[in-house]
Structure 1
Amino acid sequence: METSLIVMFLLVWAGMWAWVVKNRGTWPVFFGHFAGVIAGFIVALVVYVTVNGLLHEKTTPAASSGAQPQIANESQLRTFVPRKPVSRTSAPTSPLLPTDSPRYPRLSTPLLSANLDPQWKSQYAQWRASADMVNGVNGSLAGLICRSAAKSTLRIPDSAAFDETEELRSDAYKSQTYLLISRISGENMEGTMVSLGYDCAVQFVSGNGVKDDQWRLLELTMQGKSGPAVSANTSTGEALPEYDASEPGITPEPLKSGLVENYLNEIPTTRSELATVQGMTAQQTLAHAQLRRGLIDGPDANKRLIAFQMCEPFIRSALRQPELALFADDKALSTQRYKYQIYTSTSLMKIPDAAGNYLTYRFGCTLQAMPTMNAGFDDWKLLDLRFELTGS
C-alpha cells in the first residue's frame, strides 16, 4: 500500500507540473517549470495525505470487529525461557499431588484440546472458529488448555474451582507460546478448600480445530500456601468437644454382611502404630511418613489423618475376608476430632457377604492416640466401630 501511494504522489506531481507548464500563457518557460514544480508538489502532497487517511479509516473497523488481534512483527516478541521444575512432596494440607505422581502433568508432552472438560471444549470450539492460529494472539485458547493442566495437579480434580472474578494475565511470546497466570482452588486431604496461584506456559504445535489441536506444556508452577497449616496442626483443647461414648449400634448379621460374629468382642482393642507401619506396603509407609512430618509436637497435634489410617487394620480384623475389602477414596472421608486425642473417622467401603455379593457400608471408627516410648509413634485404642448398610 505504501508503494502505491508513493507512485500516485509522483504521478500527480508530474501531471500538475506538466499542466502548469502547458498553461503558462505569456510566462517564460523557466518560470513555467518553476511554478509547475511548486504547484505539483503541493497538490501531490494534499492528495497523498487525503488518500492515506481514507484508507486507514476503512481498515480500522475490521481490526476491531471481534477478530483476534494480529501480530504485526513476531520479532518484537520475546523468546519464552521456562523455569526449571522443582521436585515437590505434598503435605496433607496441600490440595496438590506430589510431582512424582503419574497423574501430575509432564512437561513437553502434548495437550489435546479434544481432552478438555465438556464446558471448556465447547468454549474452545467457539473461540477457535474466529482464531488465527498462525498470526493471532490466542491467549484465550491457551487459558483453557492451562486450566486443564492445572486441574490435573490436584489430589481431587473434581473439587477444582476457578475464580472467574480473578484478573487473568496472559503474555504472548514467539512461536505461538503463551504464559498464563491465574488461580485455582481444590480440596486437600482434610476436606478443606485451598487456593493456589499457578503460572502455566503452553505452545501451540499443530491442528485444524478442537478435534486435533495439539499444545505443548512448557512450564507449570503452582504457587501459594500448601494448606492451612496452623489450623490443621493445632487446636486448643477448649475448642474441641467431648467424646460421648454412645450405646453400640445394631450389629449386622454376620452371614449377610461378611463380618466376624460379635466382632467387637473378637478384635484387638489396642494396636501399636509402629508395628502397623512395619507391616505396611512401601507406598503406605511413605504416605504415613508424610502425614507424620506435617505434625507439630505436643498434645494439640492434629492426628486425624493418621487415625483414619490406623482404622484400617481394626476394620479388616472385623471382616471374614479382609483381603476382599474395597475402601472408598478420600472424597468419602469425614473426620471428627474430640478432646484427649480422640478421633472418629467415617467413610465408605464394600465387603462381600457369604454369597460373594458386594455390599456397601458406611463405617464409623473411633480411636484414641496413647503416647508411647517410641518417638514419633503412638498406640491406638479402639473406642467404637460400627457399620451401617447403605446399598448393594
Structure 2
Amino acid sequence: MPRKPESDKPAMSRDDLSPSKAPARARKPAKPAAVNVNKVPSSKKPATTEAKKPVKAPAKRKPRTVKPAAKGANPKRGTTKIKNPVKLTLKERRAMEMAAFQGLDARQAKFVDLWLVTYDARESYREAGFTCKNDNAASAGASRLLKKVKHHPYMQARQVELFARTADVQNQLIATYHAAAFADPRELVEYVRGCCRHCYGIGFKWQFRPSEMERRRDQYEAAKAEAKKAGEEIGEFDELGGTGYDSRKAPNYDCPECDGHGEGRALFKDTGNLSPAALTLFEGVKEGKDGTEIKVASQKGYRDTLAKLYNMNVEPAVVVNTGISEEELEKILEIAQANTEKNREAMAGRAEELAKIGIVN
C-alpha cells in the first residue's frame, strides 16, 4: 500500500507535549457584573426618570435579656404550648404516677379502676381505650390483662382505697339511719291548740283582728249611707268582742264557748331551718284540691334496720317442738279413744229415740 504523505508540521517529542511546556491557553475576558436596571416596558410612552426613595436601614434588635430566676422558683424549661391539654385531678395524677412507677401505662391503670367498680372485664377493657374487632377479641384481651394485673401492687393499692371509701359510705349511711330513727317529727309538722275567737273577747263575744274590724266598719258605713238615702235609720255600730285576736295565745279556761280547750290546727314548720336529723324524714310537700300536705317518712323502718344491724332480738322467741315422747303420745291416744266411745254411745241413743218415733226403722 502506498504510505500516506507525512504532514508538513514538524514532529513533537514527549517533552514538547508535557504540561510545563504546553502552550498557554488564552483565557476569555471575564464578563462584567450584572447590573439590575429597571427595564422600561415596551410602550410608545417615553421613559421617565423617578427619584429613588432612600432605603431605610434595618432596625437593630435589642439583645434579649433573661431575668434571673427568683430563689426557690423553678427555671423556665421551654415555651412550647400543648393544644387542648388533658386536665387531671390530683388523685388522678397520683394514680397515674403510681401506675407508671409500678410498670403500668395509662390504659392499664384505667382498666384496673373500671374493673374494680363494674367487675365487667370486657366493657372495662373497651372503655380503657383498647381497640378490638369484636366481643370475643375484647373478652380475650381483657382476660389476659386481668391475669397480668390481678395481683399487681397498683391493683392492691386501689382495692385498699376502695375498701376505705366503702367503710366511709357505710359509716355515713349508719349515721343517717340513726339520725332518722331518733329524729323529732315535730320539727316538721305540729298540731297546736290556741285560743278561740271568744276566749279573750269583751263579754266572751267574737273577737276580731284589726283588719277585720276595719272592713266591718267600712261595710257598716256603706249600709248606713244607703239607709240614709232611703230615709231609714240603723242602729249604732256594734264592736262585739273588740279587736286584738291572736291565735298564738293559750286557751282561756273560763271561756264558755270552747270550755277552755281552744281550737286545734296543724302547723307546718319552715323546712329551710330543719336540723340534719329532721331533714332525713322530710320527703316533700304536696299541694292539691284538699290543701297542702307535707310528707314525713316513717321512723319504724329505720329503727327496724338498726335493730337488725346491731343484732337485737326485736321479735319474740317462738318455741318449736321438734318431737314428742311415747308417754305423751299414749295419753293423747287414750283421750281420743274415750271421746270416740262417748260419741258412739250418744249416736246409738239418738237412733233409739228416732226409732221410737218412727223416723228410723
Query: Structure 1 length as normaliser, TM-score?
Result: 0.18
The structure with the greater share of residues assigned to helix is: 2
The structure with the greater share of residues assigned to strand is: 1
Query: Structure 2 length as normaliser, TM-score?
Result: 0.19
